[in-house]
C-alpha cells in the first residue's frame, strides 16, 4: 500500500481526495489532514496546525495559506518525503509544483 497524506484547508482538496479514493482505494492508504480554522495573514508558528512528524510515502498539498505550505515543504524535505503542490511557487527539491 502506498501511504499518501493530504493536507487541505476548508475543503480545498475534496474533489481530488474523492478521486483518489475512487480510483486508488485498493493501492493507496489515504490520510486527510483538514485545517478549517480561520488563520491570520501571517502564521509565524505552524505547529498548532501541522504535525511535528510525518510517516508517509507522499504528501499532497491543497493548503491555501502560503506559510503553512512553506512549513509543510520544509518538514517533507527534512523527512525526505516527496510533496506535490500544484500551482504553487515553492522552491524545494522535494516539492513538485506542476501548473494547474
Least confident of 27-31, 41-45, 53-57, 93-97: 93-97
DSSP string, 29-71: EEEEEEE-S---S--S--TTTS-S----SEEEEE---HHHHHH
* Domain chopping of the chain, boundaries: 2-39+54-96
pTM of the model: 0.86
Whether residue 52 contacts residue 69, with contact meaning beta carbons closer than 8 Å, is answered with: no
State the chain's mean pLDDT as an integer.
Answer: 88
Q: What is the CATH number of domain 2-39+54-96?
A: 3.40.50.20
Amino acid at each position: 500500500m502506498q501511504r499518501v497524506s493530504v493536507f487541505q484547508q476548508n475543503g480545498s482538496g475534496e474533489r481530488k481526495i474523492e478521486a483518489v479514493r475512487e480510483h486508488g482505494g485498493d493501492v493507496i492508504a489515504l490520510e486527510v489532514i483538514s485545517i478549517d480554522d480561520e488563520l491570520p495573514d501571517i502564521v509565524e508558528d505552524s505547529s498548532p496546525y501541522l504535525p511535528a512528524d510525518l510517516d508517509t510515502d507522499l504528501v499532497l498539498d491543497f493548503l491555501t495559506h502560503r506559510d503553512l505550505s512553506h512549513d509543510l515543504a520544509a518538514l517533507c524535505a527534512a523527512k525526505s518525503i516527496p510533496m506535490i503542490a500544484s500551482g504553487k511557487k515553492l522552491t524545494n527539491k522535494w516539492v513538485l509544483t506542476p501548473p494547474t
